[in-house]
């Protein structure tokens, strides 16, 4: 088995509990194979942990276990069962959710999402990639899915020197899968939809928004229209905007599936649309803003902040008194405090009093591991514009 020795700086980092070790924090690398399981040791040879080794990524080691136990089929079966049990507790009102969320579930860089009987896997590092066959076998044995797609068409795999690819690894997946979320049904295309087919991380926020949004509602960056569908059950009229033609086609199909005829779908750039609505003097009682990650790296946080500010400022202007803004950021690199800061600026510039109704995050099937800050990325705030003139 390969062996990694930590530097003293690496040791103090690792003892804090973080599940990754960077290459710079290693003093010695012996017999470690790309994607193999290695031991991590102190300089004096004392065992610390076992994990996956990567010979390409800056993240050289990903923690699997702090014990000297065999990392075999039975071990991984236990980890996957533990993940599934957690979902039984944490997930309700849906048959579409994340079953395994990588490091948070102790299965580094493995993602497993289920859409009813159709499952999707992603392996995002050399170690998980090497174990793909074993993981797929275990999913088949434990859950008997009708199909499993391997959706490894992700750019992060480049950092590991792994190819981007997509393939069926079990059964046959239909062109689309119908699933449910609370009282709505929707169609997913796990083969070519965004992410693994849907933004499962927003599920609980959508259900909550559906209970709160009333009157005239805007769903900006609507993708498959899921916020819009939930809102449309109680709201008078919903406008759903996205720039992607395929997304809007799916969203329209989803509206038909739910017999909802009070949603208008528009293909537009949301930045232009919001500007136009302010100019036209239109107003809304509820707005959902769920843009893609603007801060993809630490380097472009400032530009991202400008983008989020522009959107939120306009959305706040567009709200009627008493109206609700549901605003999200899925950029890991934008911290919650920075997001709150920029929203504060928007409120000031729009001369509006806004209350935080709820501070939310990603759904519980994407559990945040306390010792792994990278597992927490989605921020979602429910804000209400004061229903009387501002102070």
Catalytic residue, candidates 222, 330, 346, 380: 330
Q: Which residues of 260-283 are buried (b: 16+ CB within 10 A; e: fewer)?
A: beebebeeeebeebbeebeeeeeb
* SS3 of the chain: helix, strand, coil, percent, to 5: 35, 30, 35
Q: Which is nearer to ligand SAH, 59 or 222 (CB)?
A: 222
Q: Answer yes or no whether residue 57 interacts with ligand SAH by CB under 6 A.
A: no
Q: Answer yes or no whether residue 199 interacts with ligand SAH by CB under 6 A.
A: yes
Q: Answer yes or no whether residue 258 interacts with ligand SAH by CB under 6 A.
A: no
Distance (Å, rounded) from C-alpha 318 to C-alpha 283? 5
- How many Cβ atoms from other residues are within 10 Å of residue 294's Cβ? 19
Q: Is 145 helix (H, G, I), strand (E, B) or coil?
A: coil
DSSP bridge pairs for 119:
114, 148
Restricting to residues 278-317, name those near ligand SAH by CB under 6 A.
290, 292
Q: Which is nearer to ligand SAH, 221 or 332 (CB)?
A: 221
Q: Answer yes or no whether residue 242 interacts with ligand SAH by CB under 6 A.
A: yes
- Is 380 a known active-site residue? no
| Binding characters for ligand SAH, 152-191, by CB under 6 A (x = yes) | ----------------------------------------
Distance (Å, rounded) from C-alpha 41 to C-alpha 208? 47
Q: Which is nearer to ligand SAH, 146 or 244 (CB)?
A: 244
Q: Answer yes or no whether residue 325 interacts with ligand SAH by CB under 6 A.
A: no
| Out of 14, 97, 221, 294, the residue judged to bind ligand SAH by CB under 6 A | 221
- H/E stretch holding 344 reads helix 336-349
- How many Cβ atoms from other residues are within 10 Å of residue 28's Cβ? 12
Distance (Å, rounded) from C-alpha 3 to C-alpha 103? 21
Name the region of 22 (left: φ>0; alpha: ψ -120 to 50; beta: rest).
beta
Stretch touching ligand SAH by CB under 6 A, among 8-16, 145-153, 198-206, 347-355? 198-206
| Binding characters for ligand SAH, 200-219, by CB under 6 A (x = yes) | --x---x-------------
Compute CA 211 distance to the chain's CA centroid, rounded to the nearest angstrom: 22
| Residues 314, 306 contacting (CB under 8 angstroms) | no
| Out of 196, 224, 250, 329, the residue judged to bind ligand SAH by CB under 6 A | 224
Binding-site size for ligand SAH (CB under 6 A) equals 18
Stretch touching ligand SAH by CB under 6 A, among 78-86, 240-248, 304-312, 319-327? 240-248
In angstroms, give the least distance from the CB of 223 to ligand SAH.
3
Give the strand pairing for 184-188 and 177-181.
Answer: antiparallel
In angstroms, give the least distance from the CB of 242 to ligand SAH.
4
Sheet holding 110-115, edge to edge: 96-101, 110-115, 118-123, 147-152, 165-171
Residues that bind ligand SAH (CB under 6 A): 199, 202, 206, 221-224, 226-227, 242-244, 247, 269-271, 290, 292
Which residues are known to be catalytic? Answer: 330
């Amino acid at each position: 088995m390969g062996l990694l020795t930590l530097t003293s700086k690496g040791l103090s980092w690792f003892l804090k509990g973080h599940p990754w070790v960077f290459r710079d924090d290693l003093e010695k690398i012996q017999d470690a194979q790309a994607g193999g399981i290695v031991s991590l040791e102190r300089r004096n040879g004392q065992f610390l942990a076992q994990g996956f080794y990567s010979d390409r990524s800056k993240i050289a080691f990903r923690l699997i276990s702090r014990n000297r136990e065999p990392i075999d089929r039975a071990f991984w079966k236990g980890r996957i069962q533990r993940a599934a049990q957690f979902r039984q507790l944490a997930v309700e009102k849906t048959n579409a959710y994340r079953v395994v969320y990588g490091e948070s579930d102790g299965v580094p860089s493995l993602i497993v999402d289920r859409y009813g009987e159709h499952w999707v896997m992603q392996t995002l590092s050399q170690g998980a990639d090497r174990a793909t066959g074993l993981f797929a076998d275990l999913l088949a044995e434990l859950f008997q899915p009708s199909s499993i797609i391997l959706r490894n068409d992700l750019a992060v795999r480049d950092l590991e020197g792994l190819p981007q690819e997509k393939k069926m690894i079990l059964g046959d997946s239909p062109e689309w899968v119908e699933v449910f979320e609370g009282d709505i049904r929707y169609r997913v295309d796990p083969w070519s939809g965004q992410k693994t087919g849907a933004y499962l991380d927003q599920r609980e926020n959508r259900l909550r928004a559906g209970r709160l949004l009333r009157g005239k509602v805007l769903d900006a960056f609507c993708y498959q229209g899921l916020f819009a569908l939930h809102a449309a059950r109680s709201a008078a009229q919903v406008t759903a905007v996205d720039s992607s033609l395929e997304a809007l086609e799916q969203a329209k199909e989803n509206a038909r599936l739910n017999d909802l005829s009070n949603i208008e779908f528009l293909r537009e750039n949301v930045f232009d649309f919001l500007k136009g609505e302010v100019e036209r003097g239109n107003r809304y009682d509820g707005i959902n803003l769920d843009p893609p990650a603007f801060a993809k790296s630490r380097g472009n946080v400032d530009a991202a902040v400008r983008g989020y500010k522009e959107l939120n400022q306009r959305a706040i202007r567009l709200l009627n008194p008493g109206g609700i803004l549901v605003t999200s950021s899925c950029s890991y690199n934008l911290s919650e405090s920075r997001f709150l800061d920029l929203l504060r600026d928007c409120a000031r510039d729009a001369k509006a009093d806004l209350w935080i109704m709820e501070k939310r995050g990603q759904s519980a099937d994407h559990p945040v591991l306390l010792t792994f800050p990278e597992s927490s990325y989605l921020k979602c705030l429910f804000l209400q514009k004061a229903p009387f003139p501002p102070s």
